[in-house]
Amino acid sequence: MCPRHVPIFTHPGRSGSELGMFPELNNLLNTSPDRAEQGKLTLLCDSKTDGSFLVHHFLSFYLKANCKVCFVALLQSFSHYNTVGQKLGVNLTTARERGQLVFLEGLKSSVDIFFHPQEEPHPLRFLREANAGSLQPLYEFVREALKPVDSEDTTWRFPVLLVDDLSVLLSLGLGAVAVLDFTHYCRATVCSELQLKILWRKSTGRRDRSLIYQYKIQDKNVSFFAKGMSPAVL
């Protein structure tokens, strides 16, 4: 079962997507690619700031950990994530070709939905529905992408789901109930059935029994620390 312990990272400063992986953050979370934990939910909440560098960090982290990753990218293009990933030591194109990475590119898919006929149900078909009220096709896409496949040549350590970011769904016209249902079913199904790691990012969120970590960026360095545990001025 997924624990209710949810790390949340906040910072009232600037983006750090150009930064590499953070050993200090791994130490704070007591983890590393060779001993990554499964069955956990991580929520990234950023308000009045850009926490995208943490998404890049976790994406490269779990690819290096040899995990099967499903990435629902609603905010940026594949080329953007791949460019940053290469700076962090991973190649998303290679990972996708070898079956390690399943990448849903929301920006490109939205164009295909509106301007190209769809022979099969699309995960983002709600974009064409006047009164979209369900994300079941997106949920089915996630479940299908992460279920074990006997024919795969490589055995991945465990599956990981990343979504960047949930608030985009709200801005596209989905109701809060539909988004909450989607997160609930993903968490209940993939965390319990598949025992994976799941990571969400959204602009704001309710914090229930959360550990809050803060970080400070200076030049090309970043420091992470538990709230109230550092004299650093934010």
Distance CA 170, CA 191 (A): 24
DSSP 112-157: HHHHS--SS--TTGGGG-TT----HHHHHHHHHHHS--TT-SS--S
Cα(74)–Cα(104) distance, integer angstroms: 8
Q: Which residue has better confidence, 36 or 84?
A: 84
Mean pLDDT, the chain, whole residue set: 76
Check whether the bond before 165 is cis (ω within 30° of 0).
yes
Q: Which amino acid is at 207?
A: R
Strands 210-218 and 197-202: unpaired
Q: What is the pLDDT of residues 153-180, one digit of tens each?
A: 567 888 889 999 888 888 888 888 988 8
H/E stretch holding 163: strand 159-164
Q: What is the Cα 87 distance to its own chain's centre?
A: 18
**Percentage of the chain surpassing pLDDT 70?**
69
- Residue-wise pLDDT tens digits, 52-64: 888 998 999 999 9
Instruction: Tell me the pLDDT tens digit for each residue of 4-17.
Output: 333 444 443 333 33
Number of separate helices (H) and strands (E) present in the chain = 9, 8
- pLDDT value of residue 152: 62
Q: Which residues pair with 138 in a beta bridge?
A: none
What CA–CA distance (Å, rounded) separates 94 from 204? 33
**Domains of the chain with CATH codes:** 23-32+51-191 (3.40.50.300)
Q: Tell me the backbone φ, ψ of residue 55, rounded to 5 degrees.
A: -65, -45
**Position 234 confidence tier, pLDDT thresholds 50, 70, 90:** very low
Structure confidence at residue 19 (pLDDT): 40
Torsion of CA 78, 84, 87, 88, to 10 degrees: -90
| Radius of gyration in angstroms for the set of CA atoms belonging to the chain, rounded to a whole number | 17
State the average pLDDT over residues 137-149.
Answer: 87
pLDDT by residue (tens digit) across 196-233? 566 766 654 444 456 677 777 666 667 777 666 654 44
- Name the helix (H) or strand (E) containing 7: strand 6-10
